[in-house]
Amino acid sequence: MKSSDIVGGRIRTTCSRCKKVTYTEVTPDAREKIVRCSCGKSEVYEINSRRSTRDSTAGSAEILFADECVSKIHLFDASDTGIGFYVPEDVAALLHPGQEIIFKSKSSEGEVAQRRMLITSVSGNRVGAKYPEIDPAF
């Protein structure tokens, strides 16, 4: 699977067979897109809508809710502006975009770090959250 960044609501695609470059419109909520070239070759593109580079990561952490409930999470990526993580399905039902949580993790040295986060997306048990300090509107 290839990866492509969204620019102006479109992704740039290059056919692996004939090398033709095209720009294809995508919806804002799309995670992947199948693109068929005029030569007949079809390819799947993973769509990256983030403005900053994301790094794949793996690790466990916790989130705290306003009512002080705690849930374990599994991180899958991080960037300068936020994180992506998986939660148990029963916890996913409690989360919604705009909700504030506290992200809590331990470093390899055992130091505990806490940071306020704002939920940006919930898709199944996959959650995206941003650091509100980055967003001047928050």
Q: List, for residues 5-28, the tens digit of each pLDDT value.
A: 778 889 999 999 999 999 999 988
In 37-125, the DSSP E strands lie at: 42-48, 55-64, 70-78, 82-86, 100-106, 112-123
Confidence of residue 137 (pLDDT cuts 50, 70, 90): very low
Structure tokens belonging to residue 113: 């770090």
Structure-token pair, residue 39: 């030569």
The answer, as to whether pTM is greater than 0.85, is no
Model pLDDT for residues 56-86, shown as the tens digit of each residue: 888 899 999 988 889 999 999 888 889 999 9
- Cα 129 from Cα 82, distance rounded (Å): 6
Q: CATH for 55-134, among 3.40.640.10, 3.90.1010.10, 1.10.3720.10, 2.40.10.220?
A: 2.40.10.220
Sorted by where each begins, the domain ranges of the chain are 2-48, 55-134
- pLDDT for the residue 50: 63
